[in-house]
Every structure is written in C-alpha cells, then in structure tokens.
Amino acid sequence: ARAMEKAVAMDPNNDEYYFNLGVAYDKLGDFKGTVKAMRRVVAINPKHASAYNYIGYLYAERGENLDESVEAIKKALELEPDNGYFVDSLGWAYYKKGMMKEAQEVLERAVSLVPEDPVIRDHLGDIYYDLKMNPKAKEQWEKVLELTPDDEKVKLKLQKVKTLMEKETSRK
C-alpha cells in the first residue's frame, strides 16, 4: 500500500496505480480506503470495468448499499458483458437483495461463462439451497469440492444439504 501511495503521489491521474492501491487497501481490510481508491479510478477512467465491479462486489459482500452495488456492476457489464466474474457479482448482489429468481438466472449464466470457478459455483449453490432446490445445491457444492477439496465451509454446506435430502427421502 505504501508503495502504491507513493506511485499515486507521483502520478495522481494514473488509474491503474489507484486500482492497485485499492486492491492493496482491500487486502489490508481497509474498506473505506478501497472504495475511495476505486471511486478515484472511475473518476479518472469511466471505462474501467474492473473498478466498477470491485465497488459493486465489495458492497454486495457486505450487504450494504445494494442498489449502488447493482448499478456499479451493471456499468462494469456494459463495458464487458461476457465477463463471468462480473456476471457473478451481479448475481451475488441480486442474492443479497433477496431477488432470488434473478440471482439464479444470472449465476447460472456466470457458471456457464466460468465453469471452473469454485466461488461462482458456491454462490449458485447458496441460491439453489435457499430456493429449496437441494439436489442442484448439492451438485454445485460437490463440484466446488472437486475444485477446492479443503474448503471447510463448503464441506459443512454439503453435509447440511445431504442431511436435509435424507430426511426428505425418509418422509416419503
């Protein structure tokens, strides 16, 4: 972060320096600093899709400013409509807003664009689970564990959905 702060001081109109500063702040847990740096990026370069997505995803992850989150991500998608990571961000923001059907549609598209990303598949699994589509949630989380076998959170989710499915089967 210090090195990027120096770089920004030397070249205050360099959007990439600000973007990297924002990423450094994010890694340090400085949410406000990250958002401020990303806002500066888009002020310098209104076509910096990754900065819009960064702002939107940060807010979605925190469950804050969700309308602004969606708008920022949509700006990113206007610039890069087939970026699967941006599509994931939009789906996740919809999920956080409680827009479950929209989230499902968008995240299914994200998985089709980036099928080997465990985070995107985990997000889709969460949506399927909340929509009571347990076999589909199970399938997504099993795929996540194929990609990242040591993911303890997903192991717990998978066990929970398997238990629910067993109870449903025994009731029939």
Per-residue pLDDT, 73: 98
172/159 Cα distance (integer angstroms): 20
Per-residue pLDDT, 83: 98
Per-residue pLDDT, 91: 98
Digit-by-digit pLDDT tens for the chain (172 residues) are 999 999 999 999 999 999 999 999 999 999 999 999 999 999 999 999 999 999 999 999 999 999 999 999 999 999 999 999 999 999 999 999 999 999 999 999 999 999 999 999 999 999 999 999 999 999 999 999 999 999 999 999 999 999 999 988 887 7
Dihedral of alpha carbons 6, 10, 16, 19, sign:
positive
Per-residue pLDDT, 170: 83
